[in-house]
Amino acid sequence: MADDLKEQKPAGKGVALIDGVLKEVKNLKDKALDDVQSLKKPQKTQLFKSIFRVTHDEKPRNRALGILSNVFLHLHPAKINRDAVAYNYTWGMGGITFYLFIVLTFTGVLLMFYYHPTKVQAFRDILYLEHDVPFGKLLRNMHRWAAHLMIITVWLHMFRVFLTGSYKKPREFNWMVGVILMLLTMLLSFTGYLLPDDQLGFWAVTVGTNMARATPLLGHEGPLGPELGMTAFNDVRFALLGGSIVDSNALLRAYIWHCIAIPLIAGIFMAVHFWRVRKDGGISGPAPVMLESEIKKPRRF
Amino acid sequence: MDWVQLWEITTLPDNVPIVLLILVIPFYTWYGLRQAFANDRLIDRLEADPEMAKTHHRKTQPWKPGWAREVQVWPYLLRMEFLVAIIVTFILMVWSITLDAPLEEPANPSLTMNPAKAPWYFLGLQEMLVYFDPWMAGVVLPTLILVGLMVIPYMDTNPLGNGYYTYKQRKFAIWAFFFGFIVLWLSMVVIGTFIRGPGWIWFWPGQTWDHNKLIFEANRDLPDMFGITSMLGKSLFGGAVVGLFALVTALGVHKLFTWNAFNRKIYNRMSLIQYVLLQFFLVTMMLLPAKMVARLIFRIKYVWVTPWFNI
Ligand code: HEM
């Protein structure tokens, strides 16, 4: 007995071990197969579900959820006027303007890596960008032309909004927000103009800020300015330039307005603008035409 | 004709966007008005046929009963946005590869650029400097332009044309906007770009810029032409002329604004404040063309001279 046992035990132990290992291997193989299977259906993985929260199949409900549960896309409603998706109503101008703003932010941040807002370095940095930085010239060109294009598209957007009467009730306020956005867009371009610190920017900004001398009440050459104690060293122009001439302080101020303050303010106004487009009932049209005979009496107080 | 110089101005990198603007504005004006006229024809038909007005879906776009009035944003809107983003990126890439951003000599306060021009989108303001003193052209008028734009929704009491293109139902509004935006603003930008040369002197397109040209313009003030010499006399006389101008313009605006029965109906909907605001902004807007004529044709510098300000 003792011998039998002695002989069998190691063998039994060995077989059981191998069996166990085989079982474990099969188990692992099954799991691996499962993983491979899951690669074929990525939408079923925990990773995918945790990121997207809804499956992306073609059910209307899931298409809607795909928009609503995404932080970037939820600016959109889930559904929209069937005629508003055609290009001819909005000309896509608001969207293009916003897209250009994003392009400008992106290229602008890249430019900031190479640019120092000082009289000694600014102009050299531009030369360096143009001649040594890989794709530096393309970067600068894209930033420049996107800025010009944005001015054009913002004007066209306003033109479209006017032609479709989209500023009428209930969108009056959003039109005002828009006018401020247009002003900010132009100020962004203008402050950027000085940054290369070349003759073009210097004289443009000199001409532009010279007008500020003549601000009524607040400029030292404006009507009633001197009477209020304005001099070249305390008026609005001085505040804009950080001095009485366009020099290093003006460069620094233009830089900070251009790269930080105005983009931030414009970003906030854009958030309000888009929010209000939604809250005012989405895009205004194309709406059914109204007839003269259907005008209601105006409400009087 | 100095074609070379005209070509040089046109192809100045920073001026290329204006060339784009000159092409794109007429295109979109046409594109918008075409839809406006199509809607106007529909409106005519609906007004002629009340039965049809009850059942018609009232758009020029096709529609059949049973069609959903709304479509899903994904994919119908998002794919358009994506496509547009690709096209814009492509255009921007090609533009940036083919045309370099300008870079002049380093800034040099002792070397004046002549002409020293603002970026093209501000040339409207710079051109206004010819006609008004800096406090008007550079501060007051730009502020009024912005405020004037902002109050448009509150002055326009016409409830028609909300959310669709139309010309017929909004003639006055559309003409006023076209006049301000295209005739005044954009043409000033074009004048500033293509016509103003060294010393901000008027050179016709194709006329060679002469850097030594000096014009001894015999610009006079209106009161001087009438032989008024005392400051008090000038102030009173100028004020009277400007007041008269405002009155006549306001009457003209009123005439246009109440041109037909429909316009009078809209006029009757306006509150006093709305009407006064409208008149104020339109009369102020007309100051510019009036002063342009006075300056360019009659060589008048100031109309109203006072010890504190001149207009
Ligand atoms: C940075 C500038 C701006 C951006 C990024 C922007 C963006 C947009 C976008 C994406 C829309 C949705 C519809 C469309 O694409 O047309 C929109 C609508 C609108 N925008 Fe702007 N916009 C800007 C400036 C302006 C300006 C200058 C105005 C007018 C003075 C304006 C007035 C409006 C109004 C009233 C709507 C609602 C239109 C409707 O419901 O049909 N926006 N904007």
Interface predicted TM-score (ipTM): 0.94
* Preceding peptide of B115 cis, ω within 30°: yes
The mean per-residue pLDDT over the stretch B66-78 comes to 88
Share of chain B above pLDDT 70, in %: 99
- Pairing mode, strands B70-72 and A79-81: antiparallel
Closest CA to A285 of A141, A106, A82, A39: A82
pLDDT of residue B210: 77
Residues of B whose CB is below 8 A from A149:
17, 20, 92
Tokens representing residue A214 in the block: 């003549």
Asked if B119 and A193 come within 8 Å (Cβ–Cβ), the reply is yes
Q: Which residue has the tokens 């800025």?
A: A147
Q: How far apart are CA B89 and CA B144, in angstroms?
A: 36
Task: Identify whether residues A128 and A229 lie together within a single domain.
Answer: yes
Here the tokens at position A236 are: 């609005």
What pLDDT is stored for residue B89 in this prediction? 97
Would the CB atoms of B162 and A165 count as touching at under 8 Å? yes
- Distance (angstroms) between ligand 1 centre and the Cα of A157 equals 6
B189 contacts B123 by C-beta, under 8 angstroms: yes
More confident residue, B165 or A227: B165
Q: Are B169 and B160 in contact (CB under 8 A)?
A: yes
What is the rounded end-to-end Cα distance, in angstroms, of chain B? 36
Lowest mean pLDDT among A94-108, A127-141, B219-233, B259-273: B219-233
- Tell me if residue B72 falls in helix, strand or coil: strand
Q: Is A12 part of any domain?
A: yes
Residue B25 confidence (pLDDT) above 70: yes
Write down the residue that tokens 């006064």 correspond to. Answer: B276
In a domain, A285, yes or no: no
Percent of chain B with pLDDT over 90: 48
pLDDT for residue B212: 74
Q: What is the pLDDT of residues A250-277, one digit of tens each?
A: 999 999 999 999 999 999 999 999 999 9
CB pairs under 8 A between A and B: 287
Residue B311 CA to residue B131 CA, distance in Å, equals 9
Quote the domain boundaries for residue A58. Answer: 2-66
Q: How would residue A291 be classed by pLDDT, with cut points 50, 70 and 90? A: very high
What number is the average pLDDT over the span A20-40?
Answer: 90
- Residue B279 burial (CB count, 10 A): 18
| B165/A163 CB distance under 8 A | yes
Residues A58, A90 share a domain: no
At A25 the pLDDT is: 95
**Domain total for chain A?**
2
B213 pLDDT band, cuts 50/70/90, is confident
d(CA B150, CA B147): 5
In a domain, A293, yes or no: no
Same domain, A214 and A271: yes
Query: Residue A6: what pLDDT?
Result: 52
The answer to whether position A81 is within a domain reads no
**Residues of chain A with C-beta less than 8 angstroms from the C-beta of B170:** 165
pTM of the full structure: 0.91
Q: Grade residue B290 by pLDDT with cuts at 50, 70 and 90.
A: very high
Within-domain flag for A301: no
- The confidence band for B164, taking pLDDT boundaries of 50, 70 and 90, is very high
Predicted confidence band of residue A7 (pLDDT cuts 50, 70, 90): low
Say yes or no: A118 and A19 in one domain: no
Is residue A299 domain-resident?
no
Q: What is the pLDDT of residue B94?
A: 96
Cβ A198–B103 below 8 Å, yes or no? Answer: yes
pLDDT tens digits, A140-199:
999 999 999 999 999 999 999 999 999 998 999 999 999 999 999 999 999 999 999 999
Q: Let me know: does A213 contact B134? Beta carbons within 8 Å.
A: yes
Same domain as A93, residue A21: no
A199 & A274 share domain: yes
Same domain, A31 and A138: no
Question: Can you tell me the distance from the alpha carbon of A80 to that of A282, in angstroms, rounded to the nearest whole number?
Answer: 8
Which pLDDT does position A5 carry in this prediction?
52
Instruction: Report yes or no on A271 lying in a domain.
Output: yes
Of A75, A273, A283, A284, which is best to mutate to test ligand 1, by the most ligand atoms within 8 angstroms of its C-beta?
A273
B216 Cβ contact list (under 8 Å, min separation 6): none
> CA Rg, chain A, in Å?
32
Beta strand ranges found along chain A (DSSP E) = 79-81
Which range among A55-59, A97-101, B4-8, B46-50 shows the weakest confidence by mean pLDDT? A55-59
Given a cut of 70, whether residue B102 has pLDDT beyond it is yes
Chain A, 46-85: which have a CB under 8 Å from a chain B CB?
60, 63-64, 66-67, 73, 76-85
Same domain? For A39 and A179 the reply is: no
Position A287 in a domain = no
Alpha carbon A136 to chain centroid, angstroms: 22
Residue B233 is predicted with a pLDDT of: 86
What residues of chain A lie within 8 A of the CB of B157, using their CB?
Answer: 298
Asked if B74 and A61 count as a contact pair (C-beta separation under 8 A), the reply is: no
Question: Rounded mean pLDDT of chain B?
Answer: 89
Concatenate the DSSP letters of all residues of B144-178 into one string: HHHHHHHHHHHH----SSSSS--SGGGHHHHHHHH
For residues A139 and A102, membership in a common domain is answered with yes
Contacts of B137 (CB under 8 A, 6+ apart): A211, B125, B128, B129, B131
Do A55 and A91 share a domain, yes or no? no
Write down the pLDDT at residue A133.
Answer: 95
Helix, strand, coil proportions of chain A in percent (round to 5)?
Answer: 70, 0, 30
For A191-201, b/e burial (b = at least 16 CB within 10 A) is: bbbbbbbbbbb
Q: Measured between alpha carbons, how far is B93 from A142 in angstroms, rounded to an integer?
A: 7
More confident residue, A228 or B151: B151
Mean pLDDT check: name the lowest of A23-32, A226-235, B45-54, B283-292. Answer: A226-235
Q: B216 falls in which pLDDT band (50, 70, 90)?
A: low
At residue A153, the pLDDT reads: 97
Contacts B135 to A, Cβ<8 Å: 214-216, 219, 221-223
Using the predicted structure, report yes or no on whether residue A9 has a pLDDT greater than 60.
Answer: no
Average pLDDT, integer, range A270-294: 93
Alpha-carbon distance of B74 to B65, in angstroms, equals 23
Q: What is the CATH number of the domain that holds A214?
A: 1.20.810.10
Tokens of B12: 């100045």
Output the pLDDT for position A11.
61
Statement to judge: residues A115 and A254 lie in one domain: yes
When pLDDT is averaged across residues B262-291 and rounded to a whole number, the result is 93
Is residue A117 within 8 A of residue A259, CB to CB? The reply is no
How far separated are the first and last CA of chain A, in Å rounded?
Answer: 113
Structure tokens given for B50: 């009340």
Amino acid A301: pLDDT: 63
pLDDT at residue A300 is higher than 70? no
Mutate to test the interface with A, among B56, B104, B131, B162 (most CBs of A within 10 A): B162
**Domain match, A14 and A143 both:** no
Q: Phi-psi category of B77—alpha, beta or left, where left has phi over 0 and alpha has psi -120 to 50?
A: alpha
Boundary (domain end) residue, out of A38, A66, A94: A66
CB B279 within 8 A of CB B217: no
| Range scoring the smallest mean pLDDT among A4-13, A175-184, B33-42 | A4-13
**Please, which residues bridge with residue A219 across strands?**
none
